[in-house]
Amino acid sequence: MKKVSGRWLGFVLIFLVGPFTSILSGARVRTPDEFIPSRLSQFVEANILAVHAYQVGLAKLSGKGNLACYSAGGLDEAALRKIVEHQSSLLETDPDILKAWLLGIQLPNDSFHNARASVTARFSSLPFDPAQDLNPILNCGLVPPDHAVVNEFTRFLKSEVHAPDFQVRAIANLYQTVMEVERDGDLLQRLMDSYIDLGLPVYVGQFGLPGSDEDFLQAGRELAARSCPSPFATDAAAWQIAGRKIWNWGEKKLHIRDENVLARELLAEPEMQPLIPLMRNMPQQKIAIIGHSFTMGIHWSSPASFVQIVAAILAAQNPGIQFRQFQAGGLTAARALHEFLSVSEPDSPPHNRVRLRAPFPRAYFDEAVVWKPDQVLLVVAVRGDEDLAAIKQMGEGFAREGIRSFIFDDIGDPASRNSAMLDRFHQAALSAGFSIIEVKALLATAPDRSQFLCLDGIHMKEPYHRLMAKEWLKFLIGARGLQLGEAPRGTEN
């Protein structure tokens, strides 16, 4: 093992504050080839075991799944929870310090503790100690059986590609996690971010494998037949959606297909070229979006939401336009008015990111008003009278503050097919001061509308978000009015 002497400790600590790649060799990017393979394997296997521990507990709690496949091996519930806690701490390890360990660099404890006071607080966990969180997981005694989903996927992927075991197992760990569904918005994202940071592959496309929905379904049929009954769905459709999620999130996080890629593609289209001067001539303004998952970039259904695409386009063409999203999955009008906004979308770019600025949390509506936007787009679910009352209160509140407010006439949400409720929504919105942007007819007649709906039957894929981005952008820059076919607005902005 490489050991850093006290003489050089200060030098190493100084460089740790900057990019890790500068520790030993300037700005050269570290790759897994430079890491100790056995240590990479230990890190990946620890995550696999911790996810399995959680799923063992899930099987016990739900009574679902093959208990032989999800045996606790003598561990009680407290021990299983402790393993999960160790994983959480492991994933919170400063990436630079983890990389130092993977490279075999050892920071001596005595010298480090003397120098800690002079190092920024984010290195309070220095140095990485395997005995703290890694080894307790590796030595927990759990052994995922042959037919556990993580091992079945490992065998499947090994039959398709030739790659180091730790690379195959990293992707298998992601599939293992995403199959649960409930933790794909938090733990899965942390795992993917960690693996990407370490240069590990995170989706099968990086091995050159195809990624159509049919490809995932075909693989799903094979995997479903071999996987043991679990406390979550393991049928072919579940494997298919898991494959699509991992693929789309992988491409998004690696910036292979994200809002910036889609923005460049749309700007290159002939119909968009004449609109660029209008984009550049927009006056400086702030645009708030209060919305549910159709507006959120973190969802797996598309490389980016229409909101992110428009924000990326205008960030490139007119930096004076500011966007801020106030968002949550399944956000209804009543929740937007009353529920506290607590977190920002973790992977959103700076021009989309929400950060709480108040010492106490506010509701989505209140936080948007405090930001003092020039206009706001509301994309929320309206299910009943409570939501209609919230629409009225928010619209009147925006009007009092001089904020122009807009909704779409319909966004194609399969959960909002109640035409009577939609009519009541429009009436309440208009009476409260909202303006309605027409897109329903365009969505209904789009040539590629059959490609809108994703595998979950709820959310929308890239073709939908491209079309919505174009229409909202045209409206923002004054190239179209509220109604389709209406003359371009001359003074709206």
Neighbour tally for 320: CB within 10 Å: 12
Q: How far apart are CA 334 and CA 482, in angstroms?
A: 25
Q: What is the pLDDT of residue 126?
A: 54
The proportion of the chain whose per-residue pLDDT surpasses 90, expressed as a percent, equals: 77
Neighbour tally for 398: CB within 10 Å: 24
Q: What would the pLDDT profile of 68-90 be if each residue is shown by its tens digit?
A: 999 999 999 999 999 999 999 99
Mean pLDDT, residues 324-337 taken together: 95
pLDDT over 80 (residue 405) = yes
Could you tell me which residue, 319 or 113, shows the higher pLDDT? 319
Give the C-alpha distances (Å, rounded to integers) separating 280 from 195, 243, 267, 276, 321.
39, 40, 13, 6, 10
The torsion angles phi and psi of 42, rounded to 5 degrees, stand at: -60, -40
Close Cβ partners of 114 (under 8 Å, ≥ 6 residues apart):
none
Mean pLDDT, residues 94-106 taken together: 89
For the chain, list the domains and their CATH numbers: 31-93+128-253 (1.20.1090.10), 259-477 (3.40.50.1110)
Going by pLDDT thresholds of 50, 70 and 90, the confidence category of residue 139 is very high
Residue 127, preceding peptide bond in cis (omega within 30° of 0): yes
Three-state DSSP at 143 gives coil
pLDDT over 70 (residue 440) = yes
Half-sphere exposure for 477 (CA within 13 Å, toward CB): 21
Instruction: Specify whether the CB–CB gap between 191 and 173 falls below 8 A.
Output: yes
Nearest alpha-carbon partner for 317 in 364, 268, 271: 268
Close Cβ partners of 40 (under 8 Å, ≥ 6 residues apart):
32, 102, 166, 198, 200
Geometric angle at alpha carbon 153, from 177 and 162, rounded to 5°: 120
Structure-block tokens of residue 231:
């406390």
Going by pLDDT thresholds of 50, 70 and 90, the confidence category of residue 109 is low
The proportion of the chain whose per-residue pLDDT surpasses 70, expressed as a percent, equals: 84
Q: How far apart are CA 343 and CA 189, in angstroms?
A: 15
Mean pLDDT, residues 95-103 taken together: 92
Mean pLDDT, residues 237-244 taken together: 98
Mean pLDDT (the chain, rounded): 87
Close Cβ partners of 70 (under 8 Å, ≥ 6 residues apart):
52, 55, 56, 58, 59, 60, 148, 230, 231
Instruction: Specify whether the CB–CB gap between 212 and 47 falls below 8 A.
Output: no
Geometric angle at alpha carbon 249, from 57 and 91, rounded to 5°: 50
Geometric angle at alpha carbon 360, from 339 and 340, rounded to 5°: 10
Q: How far apart are CA 65 and CA 229, in angstroms?
A: 5
Q: How far apart are CA 57 and CA 227, in angstroms?
A: 18
Instruction: Specify whether the CB–CB gap between 395 and 429 falls below 8 A.
Output: yes
Nearest alpha-carbon partner for 320 in 476, 172, 190, 197: 476
Neighbour tally for 276: CB within 10 Å: 15
Going by pLDDT thresholds of 50, 70 and 90, the confidence category of residue 388 is very high
Q: How far apart are CA 98 and CA 75, in angstroms?
A: 28
Going by pLDDT thresholds of 50, 70 and 90, the confidence category of residue 114 is very low
- DSSP 8-state assignment for residue 340: B
pLDDT over 80 (residue 2) = no
Going by pLDDT thresholds of 50, 70 and 90, the confidence category of residue 362 is confident
Instruction: Specify whether the CB–CB gap between 280 and 318 falls below 8 A.
Output: yes
Q: What would the pLDDT profile of 3-41 be if each residue is shown by its tens digit?
A: 444 433 333 333 333 333 333 333 333 456 789 999 999
Task: Please state the pTM of the whole predicted model.
Answer: 0.84
